């Protein structure tokens, strides 16, 4: 079921969208609808990735840092020193 949606967008951005749409053979409506549909598709791989088994390399690295006493502060300190 189609429902009306009103958006307030800068006139220049609308002009750019229309120009882009012409090059793609799509209306601004279709560009927006495709974008929204793509948002849902982007979420699906993330959810599927949680169920994907780890590679042997990842499995071999699990627990490597368990015995260390490093924390977030240590990591932040490392980043500060590295990027001075």
pLDDT digits (tens, 9 = 90+) for 17-42: 999 999 999 999 999 999 988 887 77
Tell me whether residue 76 is in a domain. Answer: no
Tell me whether residue 33 is in a domain. Answer: yes
Tell me whether residue 67 is in a domain. Answer: no
**Count: domains in the chain:** 1
Tell me whether residue 51 is in a domain. Answer: yes
**DSSP secondary structure, 27-59, as one string:** -HHHHHHHHHHHHHHHHHHHHHHHHSPPPHHHH
Distance of CA 78 to the CA centre of its chain: 27
pLDDT digits (tens, 9 = 90+) for 38-61: 887 777 666 666 677 888 888 888
Check: pTM over 0.75? Answer yes or no.
no
Tell me whether residue 75 is in a domain. Answer: no
Tell me whether residue 35 is in a domain. Answer: yes
Could you tell me the residue range of the domain that residue 29 belongs to?
A: 11-62
The total of other beta-carbon atoms located within 10 Å of residue 4's CB is 4
Q: How confident is the model at residue 69, as a pLDDT?
A: 83
pLDDT value at 71 more than 90 = no
Tell me whether residue 48 is in a domain. Answer: yes
Tell me whether residue 31 is in a domain. Answer: yes
């Amino acid at each position: 079921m189609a429902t009306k949606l009103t958006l307030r967008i800068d006139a220049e951005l609308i002009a750019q969208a229309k120009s882009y749409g012409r090059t793609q053979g799509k209306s601004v409506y279709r560009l927006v609808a495709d974008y929204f549909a793509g948002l849902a598709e982007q979420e699906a791989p993330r959810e599927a990735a949680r169920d994907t088994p780890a590679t042997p390399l990842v499995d071999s690295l699990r627990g490597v840092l368990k015995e260390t006493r490093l924390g977030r502060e240590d990591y932040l300190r490392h980043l500060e020193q590295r990027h001075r």
